[in-house]
Amino acid sequence: MVSRKQVCVIGAGVSGLVAAKAFAAHGHKVSVVEKASDLGGVWNPARSYPDVQTQSPKDLYRYTDKAMPDSFPEWPTGMQVHAYLADYARDHRLDCLIRFNTSVTAMNRRADGKPGWTLDVMTPEGASSENCDFVAICTGQFSDPQTLGLPGEGTFRAQGGEIMHSSSYNDASLAKGRRVVVLGGSKSATDIAVSAVKSGASEVTLVYREPVWRIPYFIGGLVNFKRILYIRAQEQMFSSWGMGALARLARMIAKPLVWTNWRGLESVLKMQFKLDKCKMLPETRIEDGINCSVPIATPGFFPMVADARIKAIRGTFDHCEGKTIVMSNGERVIADVAVLAIGYKLGVPFLPETHRAKLVDADGQYRLYRQIANPDLPDLGFVGFNSSFCTVLCAEMAANWLVRYADRELAHQPSEREMRDNIAMMLHFRRMERPAAGVYGGLCVAPYHYKHFDELLADIGAAKRGRNRLVEMFTPPDADAYAQFLASAPTYKAAA
């Protein structure tokens, strides 16, 4: 019999909500702590820049038991995603489990010798600590903004200039009539540059390190990219981990076909975005960089670069001289607002160094079995660290896996030895065979969604009944089908 645990879920974003739901559904007592005053994580309106919308189509960015409303567009806005998450929390009575404005500042093994952890938390009322039997860390990869110490930024601010991280650029009026410079090449950077143009900025400059391949919402202007890039057939264009001799031979034979596939896609993108005219033709092969960092092209971005509404400069910020930002190539741009779309610090800052050393190798690679658990950190797991282009489904799969792992109810409960061997194999794959899989500390399952889900479902003991292999080969993951797969897993409930 599984005994009821006190489970603490840290974070109330996409991942924390579904983790809370999974643990509560299996009979555990759940408490969610969230440092912000609202749920949603990156979709919390207080943290969203104007015009933010998903990169993933709505049927790929949803929980298995709740479709996004028909009234939402194919790529919902940030506000719509937030409303969807708030609804989901209400539907499953998760809202009453969340304690807002509560930040975890440290966690340590319990001093009373019992399994579990003691969390140090900070609230507006002060600091306190609490014990729990199991912790689900759902803090995502976008909580701690990167900073940039820019020489001379004091003089920039003194003259009325504003410098802010992209997560603080949440008011379109900031741009109106002003000279805006955006640093970065991610989707956030191009979204903000386009938004600034539309909001009436007097000048918009984008400063980026190198041109990267960007994927349009519609490839060739016609086909929704999910029908080309999210399908199992495309996934099989990549070499992956654990391939046997036969699979490697098949890959070798198919090499010319695979090569043609990628060169064809590059040609389409080159023409569609007029990359030569924009002087933004990437120097790398598209297949070498496909991972979670591949941006979707912001509609309007390339046309605005082509007609100079956005001035694109290759380089980075070097220093400020008054209101002039001097670039690494010597170019000088006078600005009123500088937006740093430079990403976030990856990490679990509240985990003490002794534990963090077990979780993260010196080169930043995470040691997580299935991107969820570490054999040297018991009574603890991570949800949403298996990020991708369909993170909601990834988080839900991870949550369903984690609760069973915590209760030793996986159909295939891995031994510590098995977990260590698998972690070592995956680290080798990322370091030696596919460096692109090492982005974000190796916490990105794209482009291997199907393979990752297959592994989790097999561990859980879920059957893929009614699955049509051929259909699955040419269609993106279907959330409704995954609801059925998960429902086929053996059920149980923890008791007091």
Q: Which of these, 137, 136, 132, 134, lies nearest to 379 by C-alpha position? A: 134
Ranges within 318-357 binding ligand FAD (CB under 6 A): 350
* CB-nearer residue toward ligand FAD: 26 or 82: 82
Q: 274-294 b/e with 16+ CB inside 10 Å = b?
A: ebeebebebeeebbeebbbbb
User: Could you report how far apart the first and last alpha carbons of the chain are, in Å?
Assistant: 10
Q: How far is the CB of 52 from ligand FAD (least distance, A)?
A: 5
Number of Cα atoms under 13 Å in the Cβ half of residue 492: 19
* CB-nearer residue toward ligand FAD: 56 or 80: 56
The site string for ligand FAD over 352-391 (x = CB under 6 A, - otherwise) reads --------------------------------x---xxxx
Number of H helices, E strands in the chain: 15, 18
Residue 100 touching ligand FAD (CB under 6 A):
no
Q: Which of 7, 8, 9, 14 binds ligand FAD (CB under 6 A)?
A: 14
Contacts of 477 (CB under 8 A, 6+ apart): 60, 230, 390, 393, 449, 450, 453
Ranges within 394-423 binding ligand FAD (CB under 6 A): 395
User: What one-character-per-residue DSSP string does 105-172 give?
Assistant: EEEEE-TTSSSSEEEEEEETTEEEEEEESEEEE---SSSSB-----TTHHHHHHTT-EEEEGGG---G
Residue 444 touching ligand FAD (CB under 6 A):
no
Residue 206 touching ligand FAD (CB under 6 A):
no
Q: How far is the CB of 459 from ligand FAD (least distance, A)?
A: 20
Query: What is the distance between the alpha carbons of residues 10 and 32, in angstroms, rounded to a whole number?
Result: 6
Ranges within 135-174 binding ligand FAD (CB under 6 A): 138-140, 142-143
Q: How far is the CB of 377 from ligand FAD (least distance, A)?
A: 17
Residue 298 touching ligand FAD (CB under 6 A):
no
Q: Which of 20, 56, 199, 327 binds ligand FAD (CB under 6 A)?
A: 56
Contact 338, 161 (CB under 8 A): yes
Residue 31 touching ligand FAD (CB under 6 A):
no
Q: Which of 6, 77, 101, 103 binds ligand FAD (CB under 6 A)?
A: 103
Structure tokens at 270: 């080159």
Q: Which of 94, 104, 163, 444 binds ligand FAD (CB under 6 A)?
A: 104
Contact 338, 347 (CB under 8 A): no
Q: Which of 9, 54, 342, 482 binds ligand FAD (CB under 6 A)?
A: 54
Residue 13 touching ligand FAD (CB under 6 A):
yes
Residue 41 touching ligand FAD (CB under 6 A):
yes
Number of Cα atoms under 13 Å in the Cβ half of residue 484: 8
Q: Which of these, 23, 5, 21, 33, lies nearest to 132 by C-alpha position? A: 5
373 SS3 class: strand
Q: How far is the CB of 371 from ligand FAD (least distance, A)?
A: 12
* CB-nearer residue toward ligand FAD: 4 or 198: 198
Query: What is the distance between the alpha carbons of residues 434 and 177, in angstroms, rounded to a whole number?
Result: 46
Query: What is the distance between the alpha carbons of residues 334 and 25, in angstroms, rounded to a whole number?
Result: 56
Residue 55 touching ligand FAD (CB under 6 A):
yes
Q: Which of 21, 22, 61, 436 binds ligand FAD (CB under 6 A)?
A: 61
Contacts of 404 (CB under 8 A, 6+ apart): 410, 459, 460, 489
* CB-nearer residue toward ligand FAD: 371 or 388: 388
Structure tokens at 470: 């051929």
Q: How far is the CB of 393 from ligand FAD (least distance, A)?
A: 9
Residue 447 touching ligand FAD (CB under 6 A):
no
Q: Which of 7, 8, 20, 33 binds ligand FAD (CB under 6 A)?
A: 33
Q: Which of 7, 8, 9, 10 binds ligand FAD (CB under 6 A)?
A: 10
Query: What is the distance between the alpha carbons of residues 421 and 173, in angstroms, rounded to a whole number?
Result: 53
* CB-nearer residue toward ligand FAD: 351 or 481: 351
Q: Which residue has its beta carbon closest to ligand FAD?
A: 41
Query: What is the distance between the alpha carbons of residues 14 and 54, in angstroms, rounded to a whole number?
Result: 13
Strands (E), 410-490: none
Residue 477 touching ligand FAD (CB under 6 A):
no
| Footprint of ligand FAD (CB under 6 A) | 10-16, 33-36, 41-42, 52, 54-56, 61, 103-104, 138-140, 142-143, 188, 350, 384, 388-391, 395
